[in-house]
Homo-oligomer: A and B are copies of this chain.
Amino acid sequence: MVYFLEVLRSKLSLNLWYFIFMEKKKKNPVTSIQVAKLANVSQSAVSRTFTAGASVAPATKARVLAAAKALGYRPNVIARSLISGQSKTVGLVVAYLENHFYPLMIQQLSHALQADGYHVLLFMAESGQQDAVIEQILQYQIDGVVLASVTLSSHIAEECANIGVPVVLFNRYVPDEVQASTVTSNNEAGGRLVAQRLVQAGHKRISFVAGNVNSSTNQDRERGFIASLNAEGIELWSTAIGKYRFLAAAEATREILAKKPYPDAIFVANDHMAFAVMDVIRDEYKLRIPEDIAVVGFDNVPESNWGAYSLTTVEQPLTEMVAATAEILLQQMKDKKVTPTHKVFDTQLIVRKSAEI
């Protein structure tokens, strides 16, 4: 009682009394105790029935659900999150959904987390806003964070680690000292592979359309590609920046084609830009793909298999990458311990009609 009275005087209590007061005013405050009584089971059985992944006998579960329905009971995830310290939400920060790689990633990640009772709280953040957005996310007391197509600063990563919130960077990485896990494919090896195969197929004038030049994906693809070209004794023919955006990639293609002789092959840093590159080559310059210019992308999004593009591309194993992301998060959220983990997946070349290499 002394402790209770002390709490009454604490700073927290005012808000909490107000909450209790409001809760009591609510029309329908059915509790798990009432459900347990009606179903003739323990309160713990009620709790387990409404906890994804918890063990409960099917017959018990059925009785609890029937009683809950009859009484209009609904477990309160938010109140439970205050008690358990788990909100059952994962914050997902993404810069844009224009490139179909990311909607697919969100769809698969949501399904993987839902199976474990977690949901995705979505935050759109342009590059440069991500720290402010993560500050917002932490206000929601989410259990984990995934950053897709955006990076983060070391001090925000440290803050997350300090409060036990695991962070996974998907398709990006950060310097080693930053407290975050990463899931990527081997972008540098992918870039090397494209260069080797283009050279082996006899291409001589090889150009590159870059994505976002600050992103680790673009830097790695470009580094591997150019290193491998140079090792074969070939200098890059020309290059322009497409920023991972459709219209910017079309403009980059016009820059490259402003100079003759044209390249005989273009490696584009992702598929989404490669479609724009192909449109400009065929529609504006009336050139044939692959006879006049071969085009190679990166990602293997579903559209690269559409008949009108049939894009040769480096596949990133999206499904495996998402599964690894979910696994790292779920493990670290369970352990409440942040251990930076790095997963790198192999890539492979998918040869279609845009470059027969």
9-residue interface stretch from A134-142, A216-224, A290-298: A134-142
Q: Which of B15, B97, B139, B302 contacts A106 (CB 8 A)?
A: B97
* A residues 273-299 in Cβ contact with B at 8 Å: 275-276, 278-280, 282-283
A78→B29 CA distance, assembly (Å)? 19
Min CB gap A113→B, angstroms: 10
Q: In the complex, A141→B85 CA distance in Å? A: 17
Which secondary structure characterizes the binding site on chain A? Answer: helix
For residue A82, CB closer than 8 A to chain B, the reply is yes
Within 8 A of B (CB), among A304-354: 306-309
What chain B residues lie within 8 Å of A79 (beta carbons)?
Answer: 15, 82
Q: Mark A12-37, 1 if CB is under 8 A from B, else 0.
A: 11011111101110000101010000
State A106–B105 Cα separation when bound (angstroms): 14
Interface residues of A in 14-66 (CB under 8 A from B): 15-20, 22-24, 29, 31, 33, 50
| A8 nearest CB neighbor, chain B only | B4
Inside 8 A of A232's CB, which chain B residues have their CB? Answer: none
Write out the residue numbers on chain B whose beta carbons fall within 8 Å of the beta carbon of A87: 78
CB-based contact B17/A4 at 8 Å: yes
For residue A197, CB closer than 8 A to chain B, the reply is: no
Q: How far is the CB of A56 from chain B (nearest CB, A)?
A: 17
Q: Which of B18, B83, B123 contacts A22 (CB 8 A)?
A: B83
Closest residue on chain B to residue A85 by CB atoms: B22
Which chain B residues lie closer than 8 Å to A11 at the CB level? 31, 33
Listed in ascending order, the chain A residues whose CB lies under 8 Å from chain B are 4, 7-8, 10-13, 15-20, 22-24, 29, 31, 33, 50, 74-79, 81-83, 85, 87-89, 92, 96-98, 100, 102-104, 106-107, 110-111, 114, 119-124, 135-136, 138-141, 246, 275-276, 278-280, 282-283, 302-303, 306-309
The 10 closest A-B pairs by CB, nearest first: A279-B307, A308-B308, A103-B103, A97-B103, A283-B307, A77-B139, A110-B124, A120-B122, A97-B107, A19-B82
CB-defined A-B contacts under 8 Å, sample of 18: A7-B24, A10-B20, A10-B24, A12-B31, A16-B16, A16-B20, A22-B83, A74-B138, A77-B139, A77-B141, A78-B78, A89-B121, A92-B122, A96-B107, A100-B100, A119-B121, A276-B306, A283-B307
